[in-house]
Structure 1
Amino acid sequence: MSATWADHAIWWQVYPLGFVGAEREALPPGERPAHRLGKLEAWLDYLLELGCSGLALGPVFASGSHGYDTTDFFRIDPRLGDDADFDALVSACHDRGIRVLLDGVFNHVGRGFEVFRRAEQGDPEARRWFRWHGENPESFEGHDLLVALDHDEPAVQEHVGAVLRHWLGRGADGWRLDAAYQVPHSFWRAVLPGVRAEHPEAWFVGEVIHGDYAAFVTEAGLDSVTQYELWKAIWSALNDRNFFELAHAVERHSAMVDTFAPLTFLGNHDVTRIASRLEHPDHLGHALAVLLGVGGIPTIYAGDEQAFTGVKEEHEFGDDAVRPPFPDDPTGLAPFGAPTRELHQRLIGLRRRHPWLTHARTSVEHLSNTTLALRSTGAEVDSGESVLVLLSTDDGPQRFPDLPHGEVLTGADGDDPLLLPPHGWRVLRG
């Protein structure tokens, strides 16, 4: 059962190592921590002004390089700081009513992980922590520096449970479980109940790319999973002018909401930025209207609201373009991002005024290749409230059928609420 606070969460996701401009590799042994994590405190009021209510942190634990090759789950990465820096950031967040989500990868670890070092030296107890092909450790998706844990091993289950409890005890509100799709459901079922017993308000979202999302949530005992299917359909349908793809994805998405509220997004630290992905720049409003006009728990990847660009490439350091350093505070942002930020504020504000949208069901009211009308309706307890999202990628004006609607909430100007200009969008009260 999801924590009730999560129903009102809108996340601002940050990749900390990139955000603070940290070194690519771990600091040499014995070097003093670089107290950089506090840089995020200067951005917390910005997060709130944007309309978000939670800070979703990427990896903050000691690692060899990019954060997902963890070497010590109980230590803050010295490139970011130490426990005191973490405690100060969490305190600053909670003082403002901001929730904190941590990112933990428990499918694999880096080769610098102490138990793996012992395993390499032949320690039989340590070897049981990992999966092996003969004398070679199994790796994560072919990455030799990432060694896969054996999730049937009780010591691994105990270790992960201890890590989850430790940081929740220090003030974290929940966890993003990286590469959760690689971990057996039985593992989460073994680990999470004990954690929830001590931290009943904690929220757990798994990174899942493909498959039956609702079944994964139910069978693994999570609260949510990442909605990659909707993410792909949004930008692909807009680029291809094929709203049939998006309509299909929205209908599948809507059915999921009966089971859980998916974590929705237009960008994250692993994908090309939405401003670089969309072939028509005027379609960003369309994408945001879908993200914030359908069910789920929305996430804004830091910088997307400033029209940051960046293309993910499949080679070493190919993620750097989507994980750039940020200025010391928001005053250092370039002025060109202001219109995109204002667009985000308007649509996030609409979402916050209609909190029932988290569990809304969405129906397709009108569909063609270049026009789409989506109606999201609240549960019966919400008196059947609804919003109507109108989208057009057509080169000419398009008038929608006489769909039931109320006032215009945001979007394109015009006297006729059902008439969109070329490449226009609008959100109406349903």
Structure 2
Amino acid sequence: MDRWTDHAVWWHVYPLGFVGAEQQALPAGATPIPRLDRLEPWLDYLVELGCNGLALGPVFASGSHGYDTVDYLRIDPRLGDDAAFGRLVQACRTRGVRLLLDGVFNHVGRDFPRFREAEAQGPDSPAGQWFRWHDGHPEVFEGHDLLVSLRHDAPAVRDHVVAVMNHWLDRGVDGWRLDAAYQVPPSFWAAVLPRVRERHPGAWFVGEVIHGDYAEFVAESGLDSVTQYELWKSIWSALNDANLHELAWNLGRHDELLEAFAPLTFVGNHDVTRIASRLTDPAHLGHAVAVLMTVGGVPSIYAGDEQAFTGVKEEREHGDDAVRPPFPDTPADLASFGAPTREVHERLIGLRRRHPWLVHARTTVEHVTNTTLALRSVPRDGGAGLVLLLSVDDEPQRFPDELAGEVVESADLADDPLQVPAHSWRILTG
């Protein structure tokens, strides 16, 4: 069955950074600052880029970076209020842009009211039953003392998450990214999601899952999708190491996943070093995007990657700041250096939108060496497809004659479709 996500290309924004919000929550009682309004000029930019979905990072009231939620039913005052959110929803609707929210349901911030009650009343109190404890102390998320882990077999927690999801879906959002879903028992999602889908059968749910058996997690949880970190890693690693066998091997694993579901694919997000900084050769940025846009999955572009923004994630306090910078007030204020990279994104996203079957495409490796790779992607039901030719070689490389086809996109101009210049790529009919 064809779903709206079969046509989705997300533009992913970390809102607190995007609008240059304060790093800590505003004082209690402070007047909300309607910074969500600053996203509206960027919606036309999103559409011009070829995307049709806005994937927002955390927007709910929190103590600092958004992942320490204190109130799931209130917009963070650093971003605005309920009215500002309503304006954003309406602006998206008028442009046909889908909206995805970030739900942090594995843990909460220490100022979450129910946790404050639990601290005062103890682990055995009704409030205490919301959280996991060890030797009388609350368990925390991956060593982060300010992030307190919820107890996911507690009926009250399940009811709360259902209520939160339904509230914002009622307000007009189209789905949820589920933060740290890998830390939550799949049985929790399996209990929660059917209740939400009763009211919102068209909603889409994608979990943040970094490692493990993706297909098994989807089957047990009932999620629609999970993040494809294996593909992300193999794209930049294979390009950097001039070892395209690595990418070829991982695409075999990726193809198996597509038998069960369409993963969320990406080459950048708010949690990792930007692709322009990750690649040792900036000439390979187009290669990475070409792979993203010609293999199966639901693709996402992290805002700024299409402008060749740089930024290195560091393992320290505020180590994410470099990959979550403020943006100008409008797209017209962007620096000119990003124009060539944006143009490549526009062409490749346009190609993706013209071939919506790519969301479920099956990809085979037709040719591979350390420095050259040919990938054929075809509709899952068969038929004509596309062939991606990649070269990270220092010399021009000619691909096998049986791959011949018409050039539909390319990083270069050449008379022979199969003769690929050094460090270049092209896409042929196939």
Partner of 2:51: 52
Q: Distance in 2 between matches of 1:278 and 1:169?
A: 41
1:404 CA displacement = 3.5
Partner of 1:271: 272
Partner of 2:37: 38
State how 1:194-205 maps to structure 2 within 5 Å.
194-205=195-206
Q: Distance in 1 between matches of 2:252 and 2:273?
A: 25
Greater CA drift, 38-47 or 402-411: 402-411
SS of the aligned residue for 1:102 comes to strand
Partner of 2:168: 167
- Deviation string 1:101-155 (CA, Å, 9 cap, x unpaired) is 0001100000000000000001500000000012210000000000000001000
Counterpart residue identity of residue 29, structure 2:
G
State how 1:313-392 maps to structure 2 within 5 Å.
313-380=314-381, 384-392=383-391
Q: Distance in 2 between matches of 1:244 and 1:22?
A: 43
Q: Distance in 2 between matches of 1:244 and 1:20?
A: 41
Partner of 2:403: 404
Q: Distance in 1 between matches of 2:68 and 2:404?
A: 51
SS of the aligned residue for 2:401 comes to coil
Counterpart residue identity of residue 9, structure 2:
I
* Percent sequence identity over aligned pairs: 71
Partner of 1:84: 83
1:402 CA displacement = 1.4
Counterpart residue identity of residue 300, structure 1:
I
User: What is the Cα-based RMSD across aligned positions, in Å?
Assistant: 0.9
1:415 CA displacement = 1.0
CA contact (8 A) 2:175 2:204 kept: yes
- Deviation string 1:41-83 (CA, Å, 9 cap, x unpaired) is 0100000000000000000000000000000000000000000
Q: Distance in 2 between matches of 1:24 and 1:403?
A: 56
Counterpart residue identity of residue 102, structure 1:
L
Q: Distance in 2 between matches of 1:404 and 1:209?
A: 35
SS of the aligned residue for 1:264 comes to strand
1:403 CA displacement = 2.4
- Deviation string 1:199-254 (CA, Å, 9 cap, x unpaired) is 00000000000011111111100000000000000000000000111001111101
Q: Distance in 2 between matches of 1:25 and 1:403?
A: 59
Partner of 1:138: 139
1:405 CA displacement = 3.4
Q: Distance in 1 between matches of 2:402 and 2:214?
A: 32
- Deviation string 1:21-51 (CA, Å, 9 cap, x unpaired) is 0000000001110110110001000000000
Is the counterpart of residue 420 in structure 1 residue 420 in structure 2? Answer: yes
1:406 CA displacement = 2.1
Q: Distance in 2 between matches of 1:294 and 1:413?
A: 23
1:13 CA displacement = 0.3
Q: Gaps (5+ residues) in structure 1?
A: none
TM-score, normalised via structure 1 length: 0.98
Distance 1:314 1:70, change over 3 A: same
SS of the aligned residue for 1:125 comes to coil
Aligned length: 427
Partner of 1:9: 8
CA contact (8 A) 2:403 2:418 kept: no
Q: Distance in 1 between matches of 2:180 and 2:264?
A: 15
CA contact (8 A) 2:409 2:428 kept: yes
Q: Distance in 2 between matches of 1:183 and 1:4?
A: 26
1:185 CA displacement = 0.7
Counterpart residue identity of residue 301, structure 1:
Y
Q: Distance in 2 between matches of 1:186 and 1:256?
A: 21
Q: Distance in 1 between matches of 2:272 and 2:168?
A: 27
Q: Distance in 1 between matches of 2:403 and 2:151?
A: 55
SS of the aligned residue for 1:406 comes to coil
1:385 CA displacement = 2.2
Q: Distance in 1 between matches of 2:32 and 2:61?
A: 11
Partner of 1:251: 252
Q: Distance in 1 between matches of 2:387 and 2:375?
A: 6
Q: Distance in 2 between matches of 1:202 and 1:196?
A: 7
